[in-house]
């Protein structure tokens, strides 16, 4: 008989309650527990205190720029290299996207959260893909 499956823990860095709730529900559907930080500074403090297997970082909740926040996150927790997903919204500055692409920081548009987040998070957390698992919530 197999032992109980450990739930993965994800840090959500999001200042908008409605988006936070969507992320929380989607992650729960993946079998993940979530904690919430309202900005990058709070996220870094939480990462120093607790272990997480992935981070969802809202672009608007990250000041300094997201690539610097991702760098700071992975400096605090090297195990999170490649496990930070930036959520973008209506960004009018093309340099922001260029910077994310140049830094190879995975990102998903806010308008595509429900359709793409499930797939991206499964990849970040290393879930095995099967036809039964390809559905979205």
CATH superfamily of 8-125: Response regulator (3.40.50.2300)
Which positions ≥6 away from 48 have C-beta within 8 Å?
Answer: 76
Q: Provide the mean pLDDT of the chain.
A: 76
Reply yes or no on whether the pLDDT at 137 is more than 50.
Answer: no
Residue 53, pLDDT > 60, answer yes
Window from 16-20, 69-73, 76-80, 86-90 with minimum mean pLDDT: 86-90
pTM score of the predicted model: 0.71
**What are the two backbone dihedrals, phi and then psi, of residue 108, each rounded to the nearest 5 degrees?**
-140, 140
More confident: 137 or 129 = 129
Interval 5-25: pLDDT, tens:
578 899 999 888 888 888 888
Position with higher pLDDT, 88 vs 12: 12
Q: Is 126 left (phi over 0), alpha (psi -120 to 50) or beta?
A: left
Looking at the predicted structure, is the pLDDT value of residue 130 above 50? no
**Which sequence spans correspond to the domains of the chain?**
8-125
Q: Are 108 and 88 in contact (CB under 8 A)?
A: yes
- Residues sharing a CB contact under 8 Å with residue 2, sequence separation 6 or more, in sequence order: none
The region of weakest confidence among 38-52, 54-68, 87-101 is 87-101
Cα dihedral 89/94/96/99 (nearest 10)? 130
Rounded to whole angstroms, the Cα distance separating 2 from 100 reads 41
Burial per residue of 18-31, b for 16 or more beta-carbon CB atoms within 10 angstroms, e otherwise: ebbebbbebbeebe
What six digits make up the tokens of 16?
A: 């908008």
């Amino acid at each position: 008989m197999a032992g109980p499956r450990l739930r993965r823990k994800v840090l959500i860095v999001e200042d908008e309650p409605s988006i936070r709730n969507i992320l929380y529900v989607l992650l729960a559907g993946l079998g993940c527990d979530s904690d919430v930080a309202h900005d990058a500074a709070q996220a870094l403090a939480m990462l120093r205190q607790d272990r997480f297997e992935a981070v969802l970082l809202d672009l608007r909740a990250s000041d300094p720029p997201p690539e610097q926040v991702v760098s700071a996150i992975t400096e605090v927790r090297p195990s999170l290299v490649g496990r930070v997903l930036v959520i973008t919204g209506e960004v009018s500055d093309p340099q922001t996207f260029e910077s994310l692409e140049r830094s190879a920081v995975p990102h998903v548009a806010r308008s595509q959260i429900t359709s793409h987040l499930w797939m991206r998070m499964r990849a970040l957390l290393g879930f095995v893909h099967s036809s039964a698992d390809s559905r979205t919530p």
